[in-house]
Structure 1
Amino acid sequence: MALLEAHHVHKRFGDQVVLENITLAFEENRINGIMGPNGAGKTTCFNVLTGRYKPDRGRIVFDGEDIAGLPPHKIARKGIARSFQLMNLFDQYRAIENITLALPEVRARGMSMMHDLRTDGETGDRAAAILARIGLAGKENVEAKDLSYGERRALEIGVALAAAPRILFLDEPTAGLGSEATGQIADLIAEIRRDLTIVVIEHDMQFLFGLADKITVIHWGQVIAEGTPQALQEDEWVKRSSLGGLA
C-alpha cells in the first residue's frame, strides 16, 4: 500500500513549466529512487512533495490525507523528513547536540532549553542511540565541523531520523563522497529501511540501482519511465538516453 502519492501534480515558475502531470506512489518500507538528467525537475518534485513549494495543481496524499500546499513544518509534524543536497547542520554544535535539537520533544521546547538538555539523561541516551545507529558511536562530543565529510552526511541523516519520520526524503546523499563513504551511506540506508519508507534522488546510478526497490525516471518535468532497476535496464527509452550506460 502506498504511504505517499502524488496525483497529476503541476508546477511552473513564471512561463517555465517545471512539473507537468506528475503521478507517483511510494509504498511503505521500500526504497524508492528518482533519477533523471540535470534540469529534469527532480529537485522541484522533491520540494513540492515536502512542502517547500506549493503545487499549482494536483493532489499529494500522505496516509490518506491531502497535504498539498501545507507549509513544511506542518508536513514534517505529520511524519515526513528530508535531507538536503547542501548539508544543513549546526557546525559549532557537537554531533550529539545536532541530534538532540531534532528530537520532537526538544523542538517543542525550543533551542533556549539547550543548557538544560546537557543534564537530561533520557534525551541524551536517545540521541546517543541514533548516533550509534548511523555509525557515529564515539563521536558524540565532536563538533559537526570537525567530522569527515562522510560522517557529516551520516549525521544529517541522523538529524532527519531524530524526528521519528515515517517517510524520509534524501537529496543526493552521496554528493561529494568517495567510494568507501558511498558504500557506508548505502549500508546505512539499507539498514534504516526496516523502519521507514525512503525516497532518494541520486545522480550515482550504480548506487541507486543497487539499492532501490523501484525507480522513477523524470525528464522534461514528466514521469517517462518507472519500475524495478532490472526493468528499467531493459526500458527502450532509458537504453537510448544518456542514462542508459549508467544504468
Structure 2
Amino acid sequence: MKLFEASGLSKRFGAQVVLQDITLSFEEGQLNGIMGPNGAGKTTCFNVLTGRYKPDRGRVTFAGEDITGLSPREIARKGVSRSFQIMNLFDSYTALDNVLVATPHVRKQGFNPWRDLGADDTAQQLAAAILERVGLKGKERTLASSLSYGERRALEIGVALAAEPRMLFLDEPTAGLGAEGTARLMELVKELKRQLTIVIIEHDMNFLFKLADQISVIHWGQVITQGTPDALKQNEWVRRSNLGALA
C-alpha cells in the first residue's frame, strides 16, 4: 500500500527552479532511498515532503490524507518524523530530556523549559526506553553536548522516534560518521526498518544500497530514474556517473 505520495511537485527560489514535476511514492513497511549529486535538489525535496517548504505546485498525501502546505508540526502530529543533516539538539539538556520534550505526553502539556521533567515517571520511562532502542542506555543523564558525534546522531533519531511516528525521514544520517559509527547506525536502521516506513537521503551509496528496498535518483530537480538497488546498479546513467562508482 502506498503510505506516502507526492505528485507533480515544483519549487523555485526566485528565478531558480529547484524542483520540477517531482513524483514519488513510498510503500508502507519499506525503506526508500533518495540519492543524487550535490545540488540536485534532494534536501529541498525532503523539505517540501516534510512541510518545511510549501510547494509552488503539486500535491502530497500521507495515509490518503492531503497534507500539502501543512506546517512541519502539523505533519509530525499526523505521524511523520524527520532528522536533519545538521543536527538539531538541545545541547544543554541531557539525552533523556532531549527525548522527553519530544514525546506526545509532554507536548500535550505545552512545552515549558522550566518544568521539572524528572517528576513525570510515565514520560521518563518512555524516554529511557527510546534511548535504549537507539543504543544510548546508560547515557540518560549525559548532556547532549558531551556525547560523541555518533551518539548525537543516534540521539537525534531517538528524538524523532519520541513523536511515535508511522514514518521516518532521515537526512544524511551517516554525515560525519567514521566506519564504526556507520556500522552501528546501519544496525539501528535495520532494526527500525522492521517497525517503520523509512525514507533516507544519503551520500554513502554503500550504506544506502545495503538497506533500501527502492531508490529514487534526483538530478537537475527531477526524478530521473527509480528502482531496486540491483536494478540501479545496471542503469546506464547511474553506471556512468560518480554515483555508479560509489555504489
1:1-247 to structure 2, matched below 5 A, reads 1-112=1-112, 115-247=115-247
**Secondary structure of residue in 2 paired with 1:173:** coil
Alpha-carbon RMSD: 1.0
Letter in 2 for 1:152: R
How many residues of Structure 1 are paired with residues of Structure 2 in the alignment? 247
**Equivalent AA in structure 1 for residue 171 of structure 2:** D
**Structure 2: distance between partners of 1:111 and 1:60:** 29
1:114 offset after TM fit, Å?
5.4
Q: Which amino acid aligns with 1:91?
A: D
Query: Letter of the aligned partner of 2:85 in structure 1?
Result: Q
- The aligned amino acid for 1:161 is L
TM-score normalised per structure 1: 0.98
Give deviations 1:213-236, integer Å, cap 9, x for gaps.
111000000001111100000001
> Using the alignment, how far apart are the partners of 1:177 and 1:110 within structure 2?
34
1:115 to partner: Cα distance: 3.3
Aligned-pair CA distance for 1:110: 2.5
Structure 1: distance between partners of 2:181 and 2:19:
33
Paired with 1:206 and 1:112, the residues of 2 have a C-alpha distance of 42
| Structure 2 unpaired stretches of 5+ | none
Deviations 1:65-84 (A, max 9, x none): 11111111111111111100
Counterpart amino acid of 1:27? E
Kindly provide the amino acid, as one letter, of the partner of residue 244 in structure 2.
G
Question: TM-score of the superposition, structure 2-length normalised?
Answer: 0.98
Instruction: Using the TM superposition, give the Cα deviation of residue 113 of structure 1 relative to its aligned residue in structure 2, in angstroms.
Output: 6.7
**CA distance in 2 between partners of 1:211 and 1:165 (Å):** 20
For 1:172 and 1:113, locate their aligned partners in 2 and report how far apart those are by CA, in whole Å: 29
Larger deviation: 37-46 or 114-123? 114-123
Q: Can you list the C-alpha shifts for 1:127-168, whole angstroms capped at 9, x where unaligned?
A: 000000000001100000000000000000000000001111
Percent identical across equivalent pairs? 66
Partners of 1:198 and 1:159 in 2: how far apart? 15
Q: SS at 2:59's partner residue? A: strand
CA apart distance, 1:241: 1.3
* Offset, 1:118: 0.7
